[in-house]
Amino acid sequence: MQKVEVLDAKTKEQLCFLDKVDPHSTIGDIKSLFYKSYPQWYPARQALRLESKGKSLRDDEILQNLPVGTTATMYFKDLGPQLGWTTVFFAEYIGALLTYLLFFFRVPYIYSHTYAFTSSPHPVVTLACVCHTFHYMKRLMETIFVHRFSHGTMPLRTIIKNCAYYWGFSAWLAYYINHPLYTPPSYGELQIKYALITFAMCEMGNLSIHMSLSNLRVDGFRVRRFPMPTKNPFTWLFFFVSCPNYTYEVGAWMSFTVMTQVLPVAIYTLFGFIQMTIWAKGKHRAYIREFKDYPSVRMAIIPLIL
Ligand SMILES: CCCCCCCCCCCCCCC/C=C/C(=O)SCCNC(=O)CCNC(=O)[C@H](O)C(C)(C)COP(=O)(O)OP(=O)(O)OC[C@H]1O[C@@H](n2cnc3c(N)ncnc32)[C@H](O)[C@@H]1OP(=O)(O)O
Ligand SMILES: NC(=O)C1=CN([C@@H]2O[C@H](COP(=O)(O)OP(=O)(O)OC[C@H]3O[C@@H](n4cnc5c(N)ncnc54)[C@H](OP(=O)(O)O)[C@@H]3O)[C@@H](O)[C@H]2O)C=CC1
């Protein structure tokens, strides 16, 4: 049996002393024991570390494999309120989807009252609504049926930030696309048709990558692997980039920009691109660090460039 003392990471004050812990226990088990003494800190809120400012231990790490003596000293940090990913994504995506529809149906008090519940004479406006709705419905379905998230939860402050981002931008895009004075794209049907084709391809590509990532975890979270192209041609982008799901996501929004020819859509695409590039570069660096045989030709998000 092993002893575990848990100290507050900030004050170094002892919060708990567990004197009979099975050495095969995981960090997740220790969090559950700690939770018994502190019911306000459910396991998902807890971060346990071996150094007060070090890296948080993963829930699946085993006590006897850690570099500790007979008494393991761990530092506790409260991560604050947490929400499950499915709840978070429902709030983000359903919010974005419904906000857009308010503008599409021109509910009163958005545009002049003479336009209340009228529809646009331009077919591209309806097509844009179908594409936007499809995009978020797809992401909702992926959240339920495809993704296997490693973090069980998300911080409450992240959901507030993400909802502001998605709902705010959805309203802004929808306002202009569904505006009674909206003018269709300069090159008419040809522009719309090509944009629709690339949009559909990018959506299929994005789904294919999400399925590949999910398949990496079919046998649980323990085996560490990096993603590889499969027989599905949409996954061949893995030959060139570490995060093709982001490449396809940016492609879908670029197509939507060409389809609607609306400046706020281009601005939203740019914001998404910047955010995804930051994440992709971080993940790319992590893959290179972890896997010595990582393909050197791969870039983070844009083949051969970025
Ligand atoms: C016209 C309208 C305009 C509107 C404008 C609105 C402006 C808003 C701009 C904001 C832009 C935001 C863009 C969002 C786009 C969103 C897209 C998506 O929805 S993508 C899918 C959703 N994904 C995410 O949102 C990412 C969420 N994930 C995270 O935030 C992090 O993964 C994490 C915090 C959960 C964990 O971080 P990670 O790097 O994996 O862990 P570390 O161990 O390195 O820790 C770093 C740091 O975070 C603390 N931490 C870790 N876990 C948690 C947790 N569960 N809760 C709270 N805090 C956590 C950890 O302790 C570290 O802190 P430190 O102080 O260093 O100790
Ligand atoms: N329009 C916009 O502004 C933005 C849109 N998005 C969209 O949302 C989608 C999801 O975003 P995000 O969560 O950041 O995408 P990620 O690529 O970080 O993750 C997608 C899923 O794949 C898992 N995963 C990732 N890498 C691996 C790996 N090497 N092995 C096993 N599983 C892995 C993740 O698990 P884990 O829980 O470990 O992360 C997660 O479940 C994006 O693909 C994009 O389509 C995202 C950001 C901005």
Q: Tens digit of pLDDT for each residue in 83-140?
A: 998 888 889 999 999 999 999 999 999 999 999 999 999 999 999 999 999 999 999 9
- Nearest residue CA, atom 47 of ligand 2? 276
Average pLDDT over residues 260-286: 98
Q: Tens digit of pLDDT for each residue in 53-65?
A: 999 999 989 999 9
* 158 neighbors 93 (Cβ within 8 angstroms): no
Please name which of 162, 11, 151 lies closest in space to residue 92, comparing C-alpha atoms: 162
pLDDT value of residue 217: 87
- Any residues with Cβ below 6 Å from ligand 2, and which? 147-151, 206, 213, 216-217, 226-227, 243, 245-246, 249, 272, 275-276, 279
Which structure tokens are listed for 128? 């844009």
CA of 176 from ligand 1 middle (Å) equals: 30
* 135 neighbors 173 (Cβ within 8 angstroms): no
Q: Higher-confidence residue: 220 or 142?
A: 142
Report whether residue 236 contacts ligand 1, using a CB cutoff of 6 Å.
Answer: no
pLDDT value of residue 129: 98
Report whether residue 79 contacts ligand 1, using a CB cutoff of 6 Å.
Answer: yes
CA of 241 from ligand 1 middle (Å) equals: 23
Highest average pLDDT, of 18-22, 149-153, 285-289, comes from 285-289
Q: Higher-confidence residue: 201 or 222?
A: 201
Residues 6+ apart with CB under 8 A from 252: 135, 199, 202, 203, 206
In this structure, the number of other CB atoms found within 10 A of the CB of residue 214 comes to: 15
Q: Which ligand is nearest to the CA of 169?
A: 1
CA–CA distance, 41 with 26 (Å, rounded to integer): 18
One-letter amino acid at 115 equals: Y
Query: Looking at the predicted structure, is the pLDDT value of residue 222 above 70?
Result: no
Which structure tokens are listed for 302? 């844009």
CA of 203 from ligand 1 middle (Å) equals: 25
pLDDT value of residue 225: 87
Which structure tokens are listed for 56? 């948080």
Where residue 218 falls among pLDDT bands split at 50, 70, 90? confident
Query: Looking at the predicted structure, is the pLDDT value of residue 221 above 70?
Result: no
- Nearest residue CA, atom 12 of ligand 1? 162
Three-state secondary structure of the chain:
CEEEEEEECCCCCEEEEEEEECCCCEHHHHHHHHHHHCCCCCHHHEEEECCCCCCECCCCCEHHHCCCCCEEEEEEEECCCEEEHHHHHHHHHHHHHHHHHHHHCCCCCCCCHHHCCCCCCCHHHHHHHHHHHHHHHHHHHHHHHCCCCCCCEEEHHHHHHHHHHHHHHHHHHHHHHCCCCCCCCCCHHHHHHHHHHHHHHHHHHHHHHHHHHHHCCCCCCCCCCCCCCCCCHHHHHHHCECCHHHHHHHHHHHHHHHHHCCHHHHHHHHHHHHHHHHHHHHHHHHHHHHCCCCCCCCECCCCCCC
Average pLDDT over residues 225-244: 97
Average pLDDT over residues 145-152: 87
Cα-to-chain-centroid distance, residue 50: 28
Report whether residue 155 contacts ligand 1, using a CB cutoff of 6 Å.
Answer: yes
- Nearest residue CA, atom 37 of ligand 2? 149
pLDDT value of residue 89: 87
CA of 158 from ligand 1 middle (Å) equals: 6
Q: What ipTM is given for this predicted complex?
A: 0.89
Strand partners, 48: 76
Q: Which of 8-17, 83-92, 102-111, 295-304 has the lowest mean pLDDT?
A: 83-92
Which mutation among 78, 151, 175 tests ligand 1's pocket best, with the greatest number of atoms within 8 A of CB?
Answer: 151
